[in-house]
Amino acid sequence: MFGAFSQMLGGIVKKLVLVLGFMLVCPCARAQVWTAPMDAAKWTVWYKDMSFAPTQGTGSMSFAFPSTTSCGTPGTAGSDCGENYGAFTIDYAAKKSLSISGTLTATLQVQTAPANPLIPVSFDWETEADNTCFTTPATTRFYIQEWVNSPNVALTRRWYSKSAYVLQDSGGIVTLAVPLLVEDWQDVYNDGNAKGFATTLANVNRIGFVAGGGCFFGHGVSVSGGSATFKLVSFGTQ
């Protein structure tokens, strides 16, 4: 009896070891961690009319928001007709695209220098006449994209995180973290396209941040009443 019991126990232990071993080596057991390089030469700041590399810091990168150029009554739709900042991204060529999962996380800082210490710097987003969602402030949020040739399919391969950081002086380093789950993101159609989201996560060619306000997540932001700088300290998945 004891021999049969020992044999049965040995079989159970063997199966348990096999299961644990599979969990340790199986890539599905945990999210793949990816860390973006804090190398300014690999990143691009996108203004409306130009693009450039950010300024390299020690373990960080930064760039300045452009100043608002008003061509109408400030605060009205379409009144900001000058340069604006729209995106800050790093690209991965088609043959070296990223496959990401887990939670996308960044540590960043927004620093402002108001012209009048009593009045905060204004982050302006009124870049278009049809942008009339006046109660929505300027924000920056995560952006991921897969490059595809079809214009229609491309609209389901550009994703924006629903959570965002409202642009203002952060008073230090802050963290933005968003799970890579379809319910926490939206594409151009905002239709919860789970297949398009999964395909994009498996083939990321562009990733980073966009900035905008009102009705649009990424149609640009500029500043008035002083100056402002965006500093990125870390970016990746957990």
Pair of tokens at residue 73: 């009554």
Contact call for residues 38 and 234 (beta carbons, < 8 A): yes
pTM of the model: 0.83
Reported as half-sphere exposure (CB side, CA atoms, 13 A), residue 122 has a value of: 14
CA–CA gap between residue 22 and residue 195 (Å, rounded):
28
Q: Which helix (H) or strand (E) holds 45?
A: strand 43-47
Whether the per-residue pLDDT at 17 is higher than 70: the answer is: no
**Which pLDDT tens digit goes with each residue over 106-147?**
999 999 999 999 999 999 998 888 888 988 999 999 999 999
pLDDT of amino acid 31: 58
Nearest residue to 187 via CA among 150, 217, 220, 211: 217
SS3 state at 174: strand
Can you list the positions of beta strands (E) in 115-183? Answer: 122-124, 139-145, 158-161, 165-166, 174-179
pLDDT at 7 exceeding the cut of 70: no
Closest CA to 83 of 64, 68, 63: 68
Q: Report yes or no: 32 and 102 within 8 Å, Cβ to Cβ.
A: yes
Residue 49: per-residue pLDDT: 92
Radius of gyration for the chain, computed over Cα atoms and rounded to the nearest angstrom: 23
Q: pLDDT tens digit string along 181-232? A: 999 999 988 888 999 999 999 999 999 999 999 999 999 999 999 999 999 9
Cα(231)–Cα(146) distance, rounded to whole angstroms? 25
**The residue type at 111:** Q
d(CA 23, CA 131): 50
**Mean pLDDT, residues 74-89 taken together:** 87
pLDDT at res. 30: 53
Quick one: average pLDDT of 88-97? 91
Read off the tokens for 134.
Answer: 């006046």
pLDDT of residue 146: 96
Residues 6+ apart with CB under 8 A from 57: 231
pLDDT reported for residue 23 = 39
Element (H, E) at 14: helix 2-25
